[in-house]
A and B are shown apart, each in its own frame.
Chain A
Amino acid sequence: EAGVAQSPRYKIIEKRQSVAFWCNPISGHATLYWYQQILGQGPKLLIQFQNNGVVDDSQLPKDRFSAERLKGVDSTLKIQPAKLEDSAVYLCASSPLPRRIATEAFFGQGTRLTVV
């Protein structure tokens, strides 16, 4: 079974530029998560999709961040314009919907963003 795929692995941009990250979840997984992990901290949820609908985006800085999930499969996360404090690892994860028992989340390798 293929895992969660993310690209690019690394990105360096100047502040005020824009950047986009891509995630391809495990086939059939209804839930897709984007997390931001700043160095030395635990991952913070930015947005959670169930199929192509948004379940939770309460911590997404909507003035500069946007995300979409195309046809309930792939997802892109965009930052425009980037700030220095956006430097972090952006993690994508997917999980099946729970049935009789709750299900495991699987993570991609992440995208390390450096804003200079």
Chain B
Amino acid sequence: KQEVTQIPAALSVPEGENLVLNCSFTDSAIYNLQWFRQDPGKGLTSLLLIQSSQREQTSGRLNASLDKSSGRSTLYIAASQPGDSATYLCAVKGGGNKLTFGTGTQLKVEL
């Protein structure tokens, strides 16, 4: 059974700082990994999708990397802003199109 863990559970940083969020998964037989953002009381917004054959994906100030063999992914946020405050979730897609989520990292970027 796939298990996905995210560290840290919560993070508070000053504006402008670069930060890294971690995601680890127990079964490396995945097809892709997706990073989502969730604002309080809202649904999920997809940020980045990395296929299993890829090493990283970039979108603006976000960069996600994937090391499938070690079961790890990181989400790098450059020059953080207060508007980045949200919960960040990673999810891995395995056989049968099954999508398993991590526990999330709650990020707060302070002025």
The chain A residues found within 8 Å of chain B, CB to CB, are 6, 31, 33, 35, 41-45, 48, 50, 55-56, 89, 91, 93, 95, 97-98, 101-110, 112
Given known pairs A42-B89, A102-B51, A108-B43, the reply for A93 and B99 (CB within 8 Å) is: yes
Q: Is the CB of B97 within 8 A of A91?
A: no
Q: Is the CB of B31 within 8 A of A102?
A: yes
Q: Which of B44, B51, B93, B96 contacts A91 (CB 8 A)?
A: B44
**B25 close to chain A: CB less than 8 A:** no
Q: Is the CB of A97 within 8 A of B49?
A: no
Given known pairs A102-B31, A102-B32, A110-B42, the reply for A95 and B100 (CB within 8 Å) is: no
Q: Which residues of B have CB within 8 Å of A97?
A: 97
Given known pairs A98-B31, A102-B52, the reply for A55 and B46 (CB within 8 Å) is: no
Q: Is the CB of B93 within 8 A of A43?
A: no
Q: Is the CB of A109 within 8 A of B99?
A: no
Q: State the interface size on chain B (CB cutoff 8 A).
A: 28
- Among residues of B, the one whose C-beta sits closest to the C-beta of A108 is B43
Q: Which of A6, A43, A50 contacts B97 (CB 8 A)?
A: A50
Given known pairs A98-B31, A104-B46, the reply for A42 and B102 (CB within 8 Å) is: yes
- Among residues of B, the one whose C-beta sits closest to the C-beta of A95 is B97
Interface of B is mostly: strand
**B103 close to chain A: CB less than 8 A:** yes
Q: Give A10 Cβ to nearest chain B Cβ, in Å.
A: 9
- In the complex, chain B residues 82-111 whose Cβ is within 8 Å of any chain A Cβ: 89, 91, 93, 96-104
- Among residues of B, the one whose C-beta sits closest to the C-beta of A48 is B98
Q: Give B18 Cβ to nearest chain A Cβ, in Å.
A: 25
Q: Which of A6, A35, A55, A104 contacts B101 (CB 8 A)?
A: A35
Listed A/B pairs (11) with beta-carbon separation below 8 Å: A35-B101, A42-B89, A42-B103, A45-B99, A45-B100, A50-B96, A50-B97, A55-B97, A104-B32, A105-B93, A105-B99
Q: Which residues of A have CB within 8 Å of B28?
A: none
